Amino acid sequence: MKNALPGPKSAAYVARDAAVISPSYTRTYPFVMDHGQGAEVWDVDGNRFLDMTSGIAVTATGHAHPDVVRAIQEQAAKFIHMSGTDFYYPVQIELAERLVALAPGATPKKVFFTNSGTESVEAAFKLARWTQRRQQMIAFIGAFHGRTMGSLSLTASKPVQREGFGPLVPGVTHVPYGYCYRCAYNLTYPSCDIACVDYIEKKLFKYYISPWEVAAIFVEPIQGEGGYVVPPPEYHPRLKALADKYGILYVADEVQTGIGRTGKMFAIEHWGVEPDMICVAKGIASGMPLGALIAKAPLMSWPPGAHGNTFGGNPVSCAAGLATLRLVEQEYMANAATVGAQILHALQEMMARHEVIGDVRGKGLMIGAEIVRDKASREPTPALRDAIVQRCYERGLLILPCGGQSVRFIPPLNITPAQAAEGLDILARVVSEVEQGR
């Protein structure tokens, strides 16, 4: 580091920001970005950091990838906007063709373009009600689906996200997720026989809501903001079978897990399930604002005017999206699997050495570690987690918290093994220091 953090220029920007920017943002440490390249970023004071956040799982191809920059520049020089709601343009059609070809399952699909994750979820919420003519939704405790009113009604990650905003959209029931490390039923996998899915049929549908009034189940293949929770192998197939039994749509929220992040194009492919709808955003265009709802074609039968937007499928974002998909398919998805395995293995070894790392889990480059008082009690220790995140920043490693007591590692999909090792070294030193109270 060239200076104590934050450096003088960073500190000045943070002070200016406080005067004019909404205090609702959740900045964890005062990193003020100047520029980035791949998995490396520099702050305005000239300090270099390793980025294991990807701007919250967004910069799939790293910062300023030349292919993505070129695609953006070329499209911007042709035209920047025309609105896909009222006009046609090739780049939007081409991206939709790629997405439906890549989506899991044989059923033909169609795409509705948005600008963000929450809008993709809103579109799914509305399409589910429209096509099903049913009103109820099922979502999960720990879920994060966004912050607009429909998606916020599905979100159950932290009370602060909902507090003061009610009444939310009625008709959403939350049930426990397949979170084996902290099972809501105090059962143990595999002897539990996936009781968390059975609960929906045996209790919820028996005592509370009719399954025939449920339009959709919204589920993250791996819970993201809720703490990087990977459910067991049987979980999604059992949930999908339950949904099919009652004609309920299975909506996979792949906003954080999708586009190669887990070593497959869509995380749900790890469970062999074909969702009825898939929500994507974040990594799809390497940082240009873009989202999409990919739905089975027969479901997307709403008429002109039923749903639309001004900016969704912006041509510059679509061009970035096509360049991103090319890179992810050709190279970076495989890199996510191999470097992800390297990081997971190293974290598991670290867990064996440190009492405060209670659990390590993930797929590809979507990896979380749960920080606890000690392994026996599993007592959550958010203060220790926050200290680790802060100390990593001071040593030149950017990571983010998730859930009540976890940290997440979501570097760009093209991070090199050497960069991953550098980040893990910093983390190992920080965990030792924090554990020893230094």
The footprint of ligand PLP (CB under 6 A) covers: 56, 116-118, 121, 144-146, 220, 224-225, 253, 255-256, 281
Q: How far is the CB of 223 from ligand PLP (least distance, A)?
A: 8
Token pair 């979170």 is at which residue? 179
How far is the CA of 99 from the CAs of 14, 222, 363, in angstroms? 39, 20, 22
Alpha-carbon distance of 415 to 216, in angstroms, equals 36
By beta-carbon proximity to ligand PLP, the closer residue of 121 and 278 is 121
**Is the Cβ of residue 146 or residue 358 nearer to ligand PLP in the bound state?**
146
For residue 350, the minimal CB distance to ligand PLP (Å) is 25
Taking the least distance from each CB to ligand PLP, the nearer of 277 and 350 is: 277
Shortest Å, Cβ 90 to ligand PLP? 26
Which residue of the chain is nearest ligand PLP when measured via CB?
117
**Would you say 47 or 155 has its CB closer to ligand PLP?**
155
Residue among 10 and 114 whose Cβ is closer to ligand PLP: 114
Q: Cβ 268 to ligand PLP, closest distance in Å?
A: 12
Least separation in angstroms between residue 290's CB and ligand PLP is: 10
Secondary element (H or E) of residue 111: strand 109-114
Q: C-beta of 103: minimal distance to ligand PLP in Å?
A: 17
Of 413, 431, 330, 328, the residue nearest 367 (C-alpha) = 413
Contacts 24+ apart (CB under 8 A), 192-199: 194/232, 194/234, 194/235, 194/238, 196/235, 197/235, 197/238, 197/239, 197/242, 199/175
Q: Which residues of 106-128 are buried (b: 16+ CB within 10 A; e: fewer)?
A: eeebbbbbbbbbbbbbbbbbbbb
Token pair listed for 367: 């990896």
Q: Which is nearer to ligand PLP, 253 or 274 (CB)?
A: 253
Reported in sequence order, the residue ranges of 1-97 that DSSP labels E, i.e. its strands, are: 33-37, 40-43, 48-51
* Nearest residue (CB) to ligand PLP, 5 versus 290: 290
Least distance from ligand PLP to the Cβ atom of residue 106, Å: 25
Strand ranges (E), 282-365: 291-296, 357-363
Q: What angle do CA 285, 142, 389 make, to 5 degrees?
A: 70
